[in-house]
């Protein structure tokens, strides 16, 4: 058996604007992981995928059009096999499990696809760079999200903080000092594909207004990168609050997110904002070492379904 894993991710700055050519910053979240196990199957069995968290067993030869979950896994497998030079389908049994919450902005689909590509590559004796893995997973992301930015597959495949500009840059960089994030789950599924499409409709109806918001977000991201490199956490927190205001202005926040964001700030967070597509999913709060516990408790008291504390270094 060959086993591979991949972390979740959180977008710190720049969601939605990143789809329109502006920069974004994302970090891996190692506290949650996707796991793929690959082993040989009997001759003639083809490829079977057991998706434990979905409660499904999928036979690649029998995937039906319209079955998006199965199609995403099948595309990942077939694209990886093609990149690895396998023209015929080997006989494999694949088991997938994940602690990355689905529909919460933590990159669950990209994490599963990355773990799957890594496991297939190792099991079949191949080699793919992080860039090649990211490119393959991006093809899966298109099925999940329609017009993805590419940031999820990039940060998860590289496993490092990323300064990202779609189609131009994905620079790994290191913080001047480690910092802590507390991630609170609203308990509301974040419909990424729908929210991204709604933002596009808003942009098409009011391109001047939306471009102004995207430009403001871009300036925040640039300042945030400098604050992270300098280790200036108070400035970083203020920039998170600024980014949240822009996201509220383009209509991707929600009452549930704003309740948790307010609770985090009241409990001593340096800054807080939604993370990911919005209208549900997760929010993130920047905290210091001595406040992470109280912020975590405040989020739980405010109704967070789950809370993750992660260190970025």
- Taking only the tens place, the pLDDT of each residue in 29-85 is 999 999 999 999 999 999 999 999 889 999 998 998 888 889 999 999 999 999 999
Residues 264 and 283 sit within 8 Å (Cβ to Cβ): yes
pLDDT classification of 264: cutoffs 50, 70, 90: very high
Q: What is the pLDDT of residue 182?
A: 98
What is the Cα–Cα distance from 58 to 52, expressed in whole angstroms? 11
Q: What is the pLDDT of residue 303?
A: 97
Q: What is the pLDDT of residue 87?
A: 84
pLDDT classification of 121: cutoffs 50, 70, 90: very high
Q: What is the pLDDT of residue 217?
A: 98
CATH of domain 2-172: 3.30.230.10
Quick: pLDDT tens for 215-248: 999 999 999 999 999 999 999 999 999 999 999 9
Q: What is the pLDDT of residue 200?
A: 96
Average pLDDT over residues 269-295: 95
Average pLDDT over residues 257-284: 96
What is the Cα–Cα distance from 199 to 304, expressed in whole angstroms? 26
Q: What is the pLDDT of residue 188?
A: 92
Cβ-based neighbour number of residue 301 at 10 Å: 10
Q: What is the pLDDT of residue 68?
A: 86
pLDDT classification of 289: cutoffs 50, 70, 90: very high
Radius of gyration of the chain (CA): 19
Place of tokens 């620079």: 171
Of 53, 135, 152, 215, which residue is the catalytic one?
152
Q: What is the pLDDT of residue 78?
A: 94
What is the Cα–Cα distance from 106 to 166, expressed in whole angstroms? 19
Q: What is the pLDDT of residue 84?
A: 95
Q: Is the dihedral of CA 188, 191, 197, 203 positive or negative?
A: positive
Quick: pLDDT tens for 158-202: 988 999 998 888 888 999 999 999 999 999 988 788 999 999 999
pLDDT classification of 291: cutoffs 50, 70, 90: very high
Q: Please indicate whether residue 152 is annotated as part of the active site.
A: yes
Q: What is the pLDDT of residue 36?
A: 98
pLDDT classification of 266: cutoffs 50, 70, 90: very high
Kindly report the average pLDDT of the chain as a whole number: 94
Residues 6+ apart with CB under 8 A from 185: 101, 104, 281, 282, 304, 305, 306, 307, 308
Quick: pLDDT tens for 145-164: 777 778 889 999 998 899 99
Q: What whole-number percentage of the chain has pLDDT above 70?
A: 100
Q: Quickly name the fold that domain 179-312 has.
A: Alpha-Beta Plaits (3.30.70)
Domain boundaries, the chain: 2-172, 179-312
pLDDT classification of 106: cutoffs 50, 70, 90: confident
Q: Is residue 260 pLDDT above 80, yes or no?
A: yes
Residues 194 and 47 sit within 8 Å (Cβ to Cβ): no
Q: What is the pLDDT of residue 105?
A: 76
């Amino acid at each position: 058996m060959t086993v591979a894993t991949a972390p979740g991710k959180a977008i710190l700055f720049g969601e939605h604007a990143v789809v329109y050519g502006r920069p974004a910053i994302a970090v891996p979240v190692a506290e949650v992981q996707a796991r793929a196990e690959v082993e040989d199957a009997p001759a003639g069995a083809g490829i079977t995928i057991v998706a434990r968290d979905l409660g499904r067993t999928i036979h690649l030869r029998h995937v039906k059009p319209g079955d998006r979950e199965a199609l995403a896994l099948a595309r990942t497998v077939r694209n990886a096999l093609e990149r690895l030079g396998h023209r015929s389908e080997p006989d494999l049994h694949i088991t997938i499990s994940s602690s990355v919450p689905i529909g919460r902005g933590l990159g669950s689909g990209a994490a599963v696809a990355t773990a799957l590509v890594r496991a297939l590559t190792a099991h079949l004796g191949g080699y793919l760079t992080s860039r090649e893995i990211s490119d393959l997973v991006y093809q899966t992301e298109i099925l999940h999200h329609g017009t993805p930015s590419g940031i999820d597959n990039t940060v998860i495949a590289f496993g490092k903080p990323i300064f990202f500009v779609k189609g131009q840059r994905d620079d790994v960089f290191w913080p001047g000092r480690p910092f802590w994030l507390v991630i609170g789950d609203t308990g509301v599924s974040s419909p990424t594909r729908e929210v991204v499409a709604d933002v596009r409709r808003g942009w098409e109806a009011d391109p001047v207004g939306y471009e102004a918001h995207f430009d403001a977000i871009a300036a925040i991201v640039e300042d945030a990168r400098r604050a992270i490199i300098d280790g200036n956490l108070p400035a970083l927190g203020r920039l998170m609050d600024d980014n949240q205001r822009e996201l509220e202005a383009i209509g991707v926040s929600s009452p549930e997110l704003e309740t948790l964001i307010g609770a985090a700030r009241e409990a001593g967070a340096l800054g807080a904002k939604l993370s990911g597509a919005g209208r549900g999913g997760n929010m993130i709060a920047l905290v210091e070492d001595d406040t992470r516990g109280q912020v975590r408790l405040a989020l739980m008291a405010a109704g967070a379904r789950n809370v993750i504390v992660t260190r970025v270094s």
